[in-house]
Homo-oligomer: A and B are copies of this chain.
Amino acid sequence: MTKKAIILLSGGLDSATCLAIAKDMGFECYAMSFRYGQRHTVELDAAKKVADAMGVKEHIVIDINLGTIGGSALTADIEVPKHHKVEDMGKDIPITYVPARNTIFLSFALAWGEVLHIKDIFIGVNALDYSGYPDCRPEYIESYENMANFATKLGTEGEKIKIHTPLISMTKGEIVKTGVELGVDYSLTHTCYDPDENGRSCGVCDSCLLRLKGFEEYGMRDPIDYM
């Protein structure tokens, strides 16, 4: 029987790598993306390209409106912070943190898993580089997995739901290395929090800085365009 998995796919470096890992583990992949009031949709275009390039079985985009709730620079009219070095990034929870985002995303994956009878869910969270986000920590993922097994028909029928986080303790350099070895075409991905109208990345938001650090650590030029 084919093993199936749901992969949360933002179209960024991490989720594209996560998808490649799931595929390499032999899973037939169902990708799920979200239109959640982001200020830009270039990342959804990237998700589609990545999903197509990696031959996923199905890719769905869920519309939700986190904008109604507010509270993040990614969905509200708050300026995205710019830095020049990773070391300048704050140690606190950044303003680009979207409240309960991973919890919401995983809950939709859980629902889709119920319908498709899929008990393996992949999410590309990373605890090292995004230490400021509460919902990227291993203890969060464990507690989510525990809850998921109480929440669902699938979980209560004895099949254990698993939240896979293959990137959780990797450095950005290790993520890039893994993806390159698995054939990820990083030119299709998009990471920037604040791209220009042509979709070019800013190179100075926290997300760009971490991405660039990853390529630098691995010793490869990032194939996407910067302003």
Question: Given A62-B64, A66-B111, A115-B71: A100 and B146 within 8 A (CB)?
Answer: no
Q: Within residues 93 to 112 of chain A, which ones have a CB less than 8 A from any CB in chain B?
A: 93, 97-104, 107-108, 110-112
Classify chain A: how many residues form its interface, as a range.
35 or more
Considering only CB atoms, which chain B residue lies closest to A72 in the complex? B115
Considering only CB atoms, which chain B residue lies closest to A135 in the complex? B151
Residues of B within 8 A of A139 (CB): 150
Q: Is A1 an interface residue (CB 8 A)?
A: no
CA distance A150 to B127 in the complex (A): 13
B153 touches A97 (CB 8 A): yes
B114 touches A110 (CB 8 A): no
- A41-63 vs B, CB cutoff 8 Å, 1 = contact: the mask equals 00000000000000000001011
Residues of B within 8 A of A60 (CB): 68-69
A151 touches B65 (CB 8 A): no
- A140-174 vs B, CB cutoff 8 Å, 1 = contact: the mask equals 10011011111111011000000000000000000
Residues of B within 8 A of A111 (CB): 66, 69, 71, 98-101, 103-104
In the assembled complex, 22 residue pairs joining A and B whose CB atoms fall closer than 8 Å, in A order, are A69-B112, A69-B115, A70-B115, A71-B111, A71-B115, A100-B107, A100-B152, A102-B151, A103-B147, A103-B152, A104-B104, A107-B107, A134-B155, A134-B156, A135-B150, A135-B151, A135-B152, A140-B147, A140-B151, A143-B143, A144-B151, A147-B147
* Nearest 8 pairs of A and B residues by beta carbon: A71-B115, A99-B114, A100-B111, A143-B147, A140-B150, A99-B111, A100-B110, A104-B107
Write the residues of chain A forming the contact surface with B, with a CB cutoff of 8 angstroms: 60, 62-66, 68-71, 93, 97-104, 107-108, 110-112, 114-115, 134-135, 137, 139-140, 143-144, 146-153, 155-156
